[in-house]
Structure 1
Amino acid sequence: MNQDTSTYKILIIEDNSGDLFLVQDYLDEYFKSYNQTAANSFSKANEILSSQKNHFDIILLDLSLPDLEGMALVDAMIPLALETPLILLTGYSDIPFSILTLSRGVSDYMLKDDLTAFSLYKSIIHNIERKKYIREIETSQKKYSNLFQLSPQPLIIYQIDNLSIIDVNEAACNLYGYTIDEFRRLSIQETIPEEEYSNFQKEIDKVKNLTSSETYKGRFKHQKKNGEVFIVEIYSNVASYEEQNIRICLVSDVSERIKYIEKIEGQNLREGVFMYLMDMSDAENDIRQTIYDVLDHDPEFMAKAESGLGE
Structure 2
Amino acid sequence: MTEILAPTEKLTILIIEDNHGDFVLIEDYLLEKFTDITIVHCTDYAHSANYLKHTTETLSLILLDLNLPDMQGVPLINEVLACNHEVPVIVLTGYSDLSMAKKSLQIGVSDYLVKDEINPMILYKTIIFAINRSNYINQIEHEKRNYENLFNFNPQPTWLLDAKSLNIINANLAAQNKYGLSLSDFQKLSFVELHPKEEQQHIKNKLISKEEPFNNKHFTHLLSDGKEIKVEICFQEITGTKDHKLIVQSNDISESLQHISTIENQNATFRDIAWTQSHVVRAPLSRILGIVNLLEEQPDNFDKIAFWLKQLKTSTNEMDAIVKKIVRETNQFEQD
- TM-score, with structure 1 as normaliser: 0.76
2: distance between equivalents of 1:132 and 1:217? 45
Out of 46, 53, 71, the position equivalent to 1:68 is: 71
Q: CA deviation at 1:261?
A: 2.7
Out of 163, 170, 175, the position equivalent to 2:173 is: 170
Q: What is the match of residue 197 of structure 2?
A: 194
Q: What is the match of residue 229 of structure 1?
A: 228
Checking the alignment, whether the CA contact within 8 Å between 1:230 and 1:255 is kept in structure 2 is yes
Pair 1:269–1:104, CA change in 2 (3 A): same
Q: CA deviation at 1:124?
A: 1.2
Matched, 1:87 2:90: yes
Q: What is the match of residue 8 of structure 1?
A: 11
* Greater CA drift, 56-65 or 42-51: 42-51
Q: Which has the larger radius of gyration?
A: 2
Q: What is the match of residue 59 of structure 2?
A: 56
Pair 1:7–1:149, CA change in 2 (3 A): same
Could you give the per-residue CA deviations for residues 258-294 of structure 1, whole angstroms, max 9, x where no partner exists?
Answer: 2333444455457668849x869xxxxxxxxxxxxxx
* Greater CA drift, 215-224 or 186-195: 215-224
* 1:133-144 matched pairs, under 5 angstroms: 133-144=136-147
Unaligned runs of 5+ residues in structure 2 are 281-320, 327-336
Q: What is the match of residue 306 of structure 2?
A: none
Could you give the per-residue CA deviations for residues 26-57 of structure 1, whole angstroms, max 9, x where no partner exists?
Answer: 21232112000122333443343343445521
Could you give the per-residue CA deviations for residues 128-153 of structure 1, whole angstroms, max 9, x where no partner exists?
Answer: 22222233233323333333333332
Out of 124, 138, 141, the position equivalent to 1:121 is: 124
Q: What is the match of residue 110 of structure 1?
A: 113
What is the DSSP-based 3-state SS (H/G/I as helix, E as strand, rest coil) of the residue aligned with 2:76? helix
Q: What is the match of residue 179 of structure 1?
A: 182
Q: CA deviation at 1:204?
A: 2.6
Q: CA deviation at 1:123?
A: 1.7
Q: CA deviation at 1:236?
A: 1.6
* Greater CA drift, 267-276 or 39-48: 267-276
2: distance between equivalents of 1:130 and 1:117? 20
What is the DSSP-based 3-state SS (H/G/I as helix, E as strand, rest coil) of the residue aligned with 1:185? coil
Q: What is the match of residue 237 of structure 2?
A: 238
Q: CA deviation at 1:251?
A: 1.3
1: distance between equivalents of 2:137 and 2:212? 34
Number of aligned residue pairs = 283
What is the DSSP-based 3-state SS (H/G/I as helix, E as strand, rest coil) of the residue aligned with 1:19? helix
Checking the alignment, whether the CA contact within 8 Å between 1:71 and 1:101 is kept in structure 2 is yes
Q: What is the match of residue 149 of structure 1?
A: 152
* 1:248-267 matched pairs, under 5 angstroms: 248-266=247-265
One-letter identity of the residue aligned with 1:10 = I
2: distance between equivalents of 1:209 and 1:27? 64
2: distance between equivalents of 1:264 and 1:73? 71
Q: What is the match of residue 20 of structure 1?
A: 23
One-letter identity of the residue aligned with 1:246 = K
Matched, 1:78 2:81: yes
One-letter identity of the residue aligned with 2:161 = Y
Pair 1:6–1:71, CA change in 2 (3 A): same
Checking the alignment, whether the CA contact within 8 Å between 1:155 and 1:171 is kept in structure 2 is yes
* Greater CA drift, 170-179 or 119-128: 170-179
Checking the alignment, whether the CA contact within 8 Å between 2:234 and 2:250 is kept in structure 1 is yes
2: distance between equivalents of 1:218 and 1:114? 69
Q: CA deviation at 1:233?
A: 0.7
What is the DSSP-based 3-state SS (H/G/I as helix, E as strand, rest coil) of the residue aligned with 2:87? coil
Pair 1:24–1:178, CA change in 2 (3 A): same
One-letter identity of the residue aligned with 2:238 = A
Q: CA deviation at 1:100?
A: 1.1
2: distance between equivalents of 1:80 and 1:73? 11
Cα RMSD after superposing both structures: 3.5
Could you give the per-residue CA deviations for residues 139-178 of structure 1, whole angstroms, max 9, x where no partner exists?
Answer: 3233333333333322222221111122223322333222
